[in-house]
Structure 1
Amino acid sequence: MNVTNQATKSQRMIRRRLSKHLKSQNWFAVAVDFVIVVVGVFMGLQVQDWNEARKERIEEHALLSRLHAETVKLLETQREELVSLSERADILMSVNPVLFSQAPLRALSDLECRHIVASHVFRRPPDELPVLDEMLSTGRFDVLQDEGIKEFLRSYVIFRGRARAYYDEATNELFRLHSRFPDLIALGRAPLEAGTVDAWTALSGEGFRWNRACDVEKMRANQAFLNEYVDNLSRTGSMIQFTEQRHEHLEELESALSAHLGVPAESLAASLAGNAWLSRTDQGTTNAPVADTASSAVTDMTASASALLEALPGDRRERIGLAFDSEERMRWHFIPPEMFPRAGLALNELNERQAIAAHGLLKAGLSQDGYLTATAIMQLEDVLKELEKSDRFARNPADYYLTVFGTPSVRGTWAWRFEGHHLSLHFTIVDGRATVSTPSFFGASPAEVRTGPQRGRRALAIQEDAARALLQSLDASQRSQTVVSSITPDGILSGNAFPVEPAAPSGLTASKMTPAQQTFLRSLVEAHTAVMAADIAAERWRRINDGGFGDIGFAWAGSQERGRPHYYRVQGPTFLIEYDNTQNDGNHKHIVWRDFDGDFGRDLLREHVHSVQH
């Protein structure tokens, strides 16, 4: 007999006793019976509430168990997506030096040509969690009692909407290069050799395969083709970044679900073991040790820098290699070489072997998205040349200079720099450790191509869009603290000063934001850290978290209307990000990351001096 039936039987017995005592006018017994009835009713209600609560907990557990299974499955899908996208990016990036005349002319392989042909093809990223959508559509979301899990789910829904909007926008702007430039890319059918497997065989007919031919010489000479190719290429980097961020959101959710359900963490770790992409530490919430990835990245930089130096004759090696304590190491700017001459060697002074090593060094210091961003900025020099119709500046996409300071070593102290118009990247290694590697500067002019066949192409788009998403999430009171002026400054306030001091006012701090708004702020910071190699991004996040995420401030100046001059900064106790889009009527971007104590590796160099006898 269950608890509810027992309570019902007891209540009937009490009602019979109460009737008997009323007839005999035993008022004391009546009072006692009345109290017993009231208590019994109260207990009955409690039992009913307990049963309802128990049903809800059972339902919650069932929902979260299903959600956990779906999350683990979607994480595996993200892993496969990252592998596919990264392989595509690696192949396309290997082609860049050839296409943009930064390496000697050579024929493209069939694989390279195939990826150029398919550079506009992106499948819609898988992002659905059916249980989550079911809860939202049926109003059962509030069945969940764990506020932490609910916040992770809200954050994922916000991110998913932003990622879907970007996908729709990006895929509408991609170019079918083989259709637009048939004289550069020829498609045809060729007999299929016995035993040959071709992914496109089914589409070309039985016994045949697609035959692709890329005319590299014509590609090099066709600026319209190069512009559209870079636009497609930049979307690959953005897709990788969104996939990484989606994986991060899902990993946080899976961890919370596992803790709630008591699922061993090893089960997920085992399913993802061996995947280098998912062990990257370029996201702000990672707990992976920096040292593990640092050794790999420093090894890559050392190998590429050493290969470059070994490939150079003596006189050129002297030009590119300077002493680590040279004053030149802390001399920097982002204006054209004609206005600020650089030491070192320009890309257009290198042969194929040397250019490959130079690009390898740049790839080692940046993430895939960062490398794509840097090369896209370099190609904008050709766009500027067409727009300006002037000989004042050479506007050469290969007029970017590499300089190495000290002797490259996986255990030593050395540095290198890559610099030219709208790019100034500084990497310092101290005792084999990669530093935050600042100052780092990225710029773009035009920020958005507004006329001609390239209309709509945007450089450094995610760094603007992420800031606008945060600004739009603020209420009126918060926005009044954030918008510090209706007038934009003339440009980056910190300029090329060294050292740099914190700016004021700081704007709205993270501690005064809602959890959802803090997620937007974190995504904005990630938009800037994600351009760097994994260990450098992780070191930046370590310093941010050590300084206190709640103390990070977000400030905005100028117009809030898209396409008009505006400025923002993100500033914490240890770092400053400045962004301005104020020149050319809001169509000329500058972005800089500064570290108050770590520019040019100052902090680690002090530790080095104190720990080593000189």
Structure 2
Amino acid sequence: MTNDGRKARPTAAAPGREGAAATMATVAATWLGALSQEQLLLALYESPLDPEAEAERLRWFYTPTNHGGLAIREQSAYQQGLAMQLVASGLSEAGYATVATVMGLENTLDQVEGWRVDWGRERGRDPGLYWLRVFGRPGDPVWAWRFGGHHISLNNLIVADRLVSTTPCFIGADPARTVLLGGFLDPLGGIEGQARQLARTLSAPQLRQALLHPSAVSDIVSGNRPRVRRGDTMMHMQDLWRGSFSDPALARLVDDIDRRAEEASGYTEEDHARVAITVPPRGISARDLDEEQRHGLRRLLSLYTGRAPEDLAQEHGVRHASDGVLDEIHFSWSGSLDAGEPHYYRLHGPRVLIEYDNTQRLANHAHSVWRDPASDFGLDVLAEHRARAAH
């Protein structure tokens, strides 16, 4: 049924993971209730407990490919407003503003590229091509939702009325820095600048520990894998799409982007192995940092976990305030320490993997991702739920 009337906006729920889940359920149900049957075929999938639906839930992207779901541009203005309320329910105020800004950058990128890249669709860079999909009915014992498009991927799982996972969480920006009248737009500048500031405080021996490679790898190493594993190396551009291109021109375009990125980095297979994901992590451990540096590391962590709703962000902050937890996190860097030059950094511990690169388009195209190696997509909690249900 299509609801053309204007419903009351969902009200805020109690704080914490339960409150976040309740808010998400209310907003998601309102959005789904406003859609036509035809729209629901794209917007609503089976529960994550269904193997086919779960396989789709674990497919995520940050390229301008079809992310799966109902696109913003295929919705009425009222429906779009409800969709964006759901997006906002999974983010802090600052996180939502950053995501909204990145979506709008598609208009700028279209101009930067001379309005000529089509990616096999009517408009190659389209701020309306961000997809929202709900898995299972909001309020069910297990349900999830995903929002994504170019440079955005938000993944949320709710189990037993509790938000249990908000990762992988990807935010990129292209251009990373844009000229404005009287200033600049730099949506990821804070997380880049904080990391550079931390790296510059390292002594020569500390920097030798932290340095992964003199040159920056051309993309995040974990790519869009559903799970990060020891030995993973950077995924190439050709593997980051939903299927292969039937148009030979687009296939050549992707090959060319990858080739130019590799030539710019100068990386060989040996170089990629040098910056692979390892356990234990490479880089300098927080236990080898002084107190000021440890404060800088905590600040950097908070700029990623601060994407989550405020109560969850505070929960992460309390955990990282523990010296024992922080000691297990390693900070590593590759590339130049100079602003405007290609670089990559990583924070890696048992429950956190953060990657950032700004290398492409003459170091004006940034990617950032926050992951939980032990619980991306809430797979550990979901496995426990299945085990309990089996008994």
For normalisation by structure 2, the TM-score amounts to 0.77
CA distance in 2, matches of 1:592, 1:454: 30
* Residue 136 of structure 2 is aligned to residue 406 of structure 1: yes
Structure 1 residues 611, 534: CA separation in 2 closer, same or farther (over 3 Å shift)? farther
Task: Give the 3-state SS of the residue equivalent to 2:353 in structure 1.
Answer: strand
Larger relative contact order, structure 1 or 2 (CA cutoff 8 Å, min sep 6): 2
CA drift at 1:501: 2.1
2:283 is equivalent to residue 507 of structure 1: yes
Distance 1:522 1:546, change over 3 A: closer
Q: Is the 8 A contact 1:382 1:397 kept in 2?
A: yes
What is the match of residue 380 of structure 2?
603
Q: Within the alignment, does 1:558 sit opposite 2:335 as a pair?
A: yes
Counterpart residue number, 2:296 = 520
1:540 CA drift (Å): 4.3
Number of paired residues? 320
- Tell me if the contact between 1:378 and 1:397 (Cα under 8 Å) persists in the aligned partners: yes
Q: Does 1:593 align with 2:370?
A: yes
Task: Check conservation: 1:434, 1:535, Cα contact below 8 A.
Answer: no
Aligned position for 2:17: 294
Counterpart of 1:436 in structure 2: which amino acid?
A: S
- Offset, 1:312: 0.5
Alignment correspondent of 1:471: 199
Partner of 1:531: 307
Which AA in structure 2 matches 1:304? V
Which residue identity does 2:210 align to in structure 1?
T
Distance 1:541 1:606, change over 3 A: farther
Answer with 1 or 2: which has the greater Rg: 1
Identity %: 39
Q: Distance in 2 between matches of 1:512 and 1:536?
A: 28
Deviations 1:289-337 (A, max 9, x none): xx95122211111111000000011121121000123021111110003
- Conserved in 2, the CA contact under 8 Å of 1:448 and 1:587? yes
Equivalent residues of 1:569, 1:577 under 8 A apart = yes
Cα distance, 1:387–1:453 mapped onto 2, change above 3 Å: farther
Kindly state the Cα deviation for residue 573 of structure 1 after the two structures are TM-superposed: 1.5
Q: Does 1:347 align with 2:72?
A: yes
Q: 1:300 to 1:571 in 2, by over 3 A?
A: same
The amino acid that maps onto 2:134 is: V
Please, what is the CA RMSD of the aligned residues?
A: 2.1
8 Å contact from structure 1 (residues 577, 592) kept in 2: yes
C-alpha separation in 2, matches of 1:612 and 1:493: 36
Contact between 2:199 and 2:207, CA under 8 Å: does it hold in 1?
yes
d(CA) in 2 for partners of 1:304 and 1:578? 31
Q: For 2:27 and 2:288, how far apart are their aligned partners in 1? A: 45
Report the Cα distance in structure 1 between the residues aligned to 2:181 and 2:348, rounded to whole angstroms. Answer: 38
CA distance in 1 between counterparts of 2:313 and 2:282 reads 23
User: Cα distance, 1:486 vs. partner?
Assistant: 0.8
Contact in 2 for aligned 1:508/1:553 (Cα 8 Å): yes
Q: Which residue of 1 aligns with 2:209?
A: 481
Q: What is the deviation of 1:348?
A: 1.1
Match of 1:377 among 89, 94, 102: 102
Long gaps (5+) in structure 2:
1-11, 231-276
CA deviation vs aligned residue, 1:444-503 (integer Å, no higher than 9, x gap): 0110125x7476321211111110121122222211211221111121111111210252
Within the candidate set 424, 427, 432, 2:156 is matched to 427
Q: Compared with structure 1, are the counterparts of its residues 603 and 535 closer, same or farther at alpha carbon in structure 2 (3 Å cutoff)?
A: farther
Q: Indicate the residue corresponding to 1:334 in structure 2.
A: 62
Number of the residue aligned with 2:267: none
Q: Does 1:573 align with 2:350?
A: yes
Partners of 1:531 and 1:353 in 2: CA distance: 25
| Distance in 2 of aligned mates of 1:465 and 1:371 | 20
Distance in 1, Cα, partners of 2:182 & 2:149 = 24
Amino acid at match of 1:481: Q
Q: Assess, with a 3 A threshold, how the Cα gap between structure 1 residues 454 and 430 changes in structure 2: closer, same or farther.
A: farther
Deviation at 1:546, TM superposition (A): 9.9
**Which residue identity is paired with 1:305?**
A
CA distance in 2, matches of 1:595, 1:546: 19
| Residue 315 (structure 1) aligned to one of 31, 38, 49 | 38
Quote how far apart the aligned CAs of 1:612 are: 2.1
Change (3 A) 1:369 1:574: same
Higher mean displacement: 521-530 or 595-604:
595-604
CA–CA distance in structure 2, aligned partners of residues 536 and 333 of structure 1: 24
How far apart are 1:356 and its partner, in Å?
Answer: 1.7
Give the match for residue 85 of structure 2. Answer: 360
Structure ranking higher in helix proportion:
1
Tell me how far apart the structure 2 counterparts of residues 332 and 584 of structure 1 sit (CA, whole Å). Answer: 24
Q: Does 1:441 align with 2:170?
A: yes
Partner of 1:612, secondary structure, is helix
Q: 2:374–2:380: 8 Å Cα contact kept in structure 1? A: yes
Please give the alpha-carbon distance, in whole angstroms, between the structure 2 residues aligned to 1:546 and 1:322.
Answer: 42
Map of 1:49-88 to 2, 5 A cutoff?
none
Cα separation, partners in 2 of 1:465 and 1:454, compared to 1, 3 Å: same
Q: CA deviation at 1:575?
A: 1.8
Provide closer, same or farther for how the CA distance between residues 298 and 389 of structure 1 changes in structure 2, counting only shifts above 3 A. Answer: same
Residue 583 of structure 1 corresponds to 360
Secondary structure at the residue paired with 2:39? helix
The answer to whether the Cα contact below 8 Å between 2:130 and 2:148 also exists between their aligned partners in 1 is yes
Residues 581, 422 of structure 1: alpha-carbon distance in 2 compared, 3 angstrom cutoff = same
2:154–2:170: 8 Å Cα contact kept in structure 1?
yes
Q: Is the 8 A contact 1:483 1:555 kept in 2?
A: yes
2:226 match: 498
In structure 2, what is the equivalent of residue 232 of structure 1?
A: none
Within 2, Cα distance between the matches of 1:375 and 1:454?
A: 21
Q: What runs of 5+ residues in structure 1 fail to find an aligned partner?
A: 1-275, 277-290
Contact kept, 8 Å, 1:547 with 1:573, in 2: the verdict is no
